Amino acid sequence: MDRCVAVVDIGKTNKKVHVYSNDLRLVASESTSFDTVERDGILWVDSDALETWLLDTLLHLAPRHAIAAVSVTTHGATFACVDESGYLAFPVIDYTHEPGGSFHDEFFEIAGDPAELQRTTATLELSALLNVAQGVRFLQVHDPDRFARVRHILFYPQYIAYRLTGRIAADFTYAGCHTYLYDFARRDYSVVADRLGIRALLPERMDHPQTVLGRVDPAVAGRTGLSPETVVTLGIHDSNASLLPYLIKRPDEDLIVNSTGTWCVAMHPEPEVSFSDDEIGKAVFYNICAFGTPVKTSILMGGLEFETYTRLLRDRFGMRDYPDFDPQLYRDVIKEKAEFILPAVVPGTGQFPDSTARVVDHGEVFGLDQIRDGSRVPELFSNSRRAYAVLNLSLAVQTLVALRRVGLRAGTTVYTEGGFRNNADYNALLAALVPDSRFLLSGMPEATSFGAALIGRAALEGVDLSTLAGRFDLQQDSVPQSDLPGIDAYASAFLDLVAAG
């Protein structure tokens, strides 16, 4: 008899419930999305709509599949404040909310020096409220009387699991992912938790993500049709869920997973946390994988950069479909070294946080806003095929920097998954930039969900995650090498322009 795992996969945009069979086949899938809610100038998550949809979806799936476990994974930088009655003291704040003014400076006056915090909490300084501790501080300042009613601060996967079980705990993959709240050396909450006065509000119990948090609450069982014996896992950060299948199948391989989407996340398992002086202040930090060991991580908004410029090329400059990979076109652009698309579409993000989004066309500089409003447009954009090539070169060079920052070396295998898996240009350029490494394209369509399914399977069967290695395969395709002479010189010219500001 099948004992299925239902994966609750809460992404920033897409919310999904996937059901996996005993043999880890995806047998059912439901998804939706919700708009962010703005109230009084603040962006909030529509938690009520999300919970209603989740319970309704489980009600639809439970009679059709023998769901014995629920495994939760969510996007990062999100938390919930729960009051004494067990309900939200605040709505869940959306991490894209810009606090404005001097908020970030005032936060660090309390929390401590950003450089020192990066070394101890392995957290990089990010804009908006992309660090959980900053989100907490924002609520403390925004409404101190309301914050005084908070009894528990739960990381997002554990909040979802709490709503299903009524149990409270934390998992280290989420606590240790750019929150400022986890001290890697002490394996405990950091001094920032003390300085914000919230240590007592954080879960006392912190455990592995595959730990069984509890069984579904009787009211949830009645509402959804799930068996009261259905177990719910503690939950896992989505990046670590997507990394998990590779760690299980390739435990001894020097590998980097290049997970691509709106955020492109490069993850390299390492034995210890260590930053060079050059890395302090850059977009490099550490996660903690499901096995409890460090994962050096770098990020850039590659998917957003790609979407921003391809939308311009489609809407304003006549591009229809994405052009086929044309090596000769790339050789021409590379040889000329005169056309560049420089980061960053979102200021303060990525590998070059001080860089302003712009196009350099034979020495002339065009700001992204100028191109958008049509006041100044580079000649490059009159040839959408060529502009598309320059865009992919930009993304490949930015990715190269991210890969190097997490420890790319000769012989490292790089697995690219997500949206850019299907971008032949991007993958060919990366392989040409790093000829002494192997680049593979992951055939796993739902890596995050599948990783969470492995968590649920291990919890349900009471086995170690590593024992699941023989239960699945990693489908992968090799990226062939392309002859693109001079691509290193083009990358150097790109980096010189970024550095020049």
pLDDT for position 231: 98
pLDDT for position 353: 85
Q: From first to last of its 501 residues, what are the pLDDT tens digits of the chain?
A: 689 999 999 998 899 999 999 999 999 999 999 999 999 999 999 999 999 999 999 999 999 999 999 999 999 999 999 999 999 999 999 999 999 889 999 999 999 999 999 999 999 998 899 999 999 999 999 999 999 999 999 999 999 999 999 999 999 999 999 999 999 999 999 999 999 999 999 999 999 999 999 999 999 999 999 999 999 999 999 999 999 999 999 999 999 999 998 889 999 999 999 999 988 888 899 999 999 999 999 999 999 999 999 999 998 888 889 999 999 999 999 999 999 999 999 887 889 988 999 999 999 999 999 999 999 999 999 999 999 999 999 999 999 999 999 999 999 999 999 889 999 999 999 999 999 999 999 988 788 999 999 999 999 999 999 999 999 999 899 999 999 999 999 999 999 999 998
The gap from C-alpha 292 to its chain's centroid, in whole angstroms, comes to 18
413 near 320, Cβ under 8 Å?
Answer: no
Separation between Cα atoms, residue 244 and residue 258, nearest integer Å: 13
416 near 260, Cβ under 8 Å?
Answer: yes
176 near 24, Cβ under 8 Å?
Answer: no
Residue written as tokens 């319970």? 55
Sign of CA pseudo-dihedral 236, 238, 244, 245: positive
pLDDT for position 1: 65
Residue ranges of the chain that CATH labels 3.30.420.40: 4-234
Please tell me the CATH code under which domain 4-234 is placed.
Answer: 3.30.420.40
In terms of Cβ atoms closer than 10 Å to its own Cβ (0-12, 13-18, 19+), residue 172 is buried
pLDDT for position 127: 82
